[in-house]
Amino acid sequence: MECIFCKIIVGEIPAKLIYDRNEVIAFDDINPQAPTHLLIVPKKHFENAGEIAESDAEILAEMFRVAKELAKGRGLSGYRTVFNTGAEAGQSVFHAHLHLIGGRAFGWPPG
C-alpha cells in the first residue's frame, strides 16, 4: 500500500486526528496554510472528488457536513473548502480529501 492517507487511516503513519466517524476522518494538515487547516478524508480510497461522486455521493455529502460541523466548533464565521483535482490544480496526494481552511481572510481568485 503506497497511499499516505490510507496509511494514516490504518494508523501506520501518525496524524493529529480531529474527527473519526462513519465513512470519514479528519486530521490537521502537516503544512497548514491558515490557523485552521484540516483535511477531511473518506476512509475508502478514491482518487478524487469526482470518483467519490460517481461511486457514493453520500460520502461527499458527509464530508461537507463534517466541514460545517468542525468549522462551527472552531467558531469560524467563514471558511473555504477545496478539492484539488489533478497535479495541474495542485493535487499532490491522490487519495481524495477536502481541505477545510479558515481563521484568516482569503483572497480571490486563488493563486
Q: How far is the CB of 37 from ligand 5GP (least distance, A)?
A: 7
Q: Which stretch binds ligand 5GP (CB under 6 A): 28-36, 42-50, 52-60, 68-76?
A: 28-36
Of 43, 45, 68, 74, which one interacts with Zn ion (CB under 5 A)? 45
CB contact set of 41 (below 8 Å; sequence gap of 6+): 5, 8, 9, 24, 25, 26, 27, 95, 96, 97, 98
The pattern of x and - marking residues 72 through 101 that bind ligand 5GP according to CB under 6 A reads ------------x-----xxxx--------
C-alpha 57/C-alpha 6 separation (Å) is: 20
Q: Is 99 in the site for Zn ion (CB under 5 A)?
A: no
C-alpha 60/C-alpha 35 separation (Å) is: 24
Q: Checking DSSP bridges between strand 79-82 and strand 17-21, what pairing results, if any?
A: unpaired
Binding site residues, ligand 5GP, CB under 6 A: 4, 13, 15, 27-31, 39, 84, 90-93
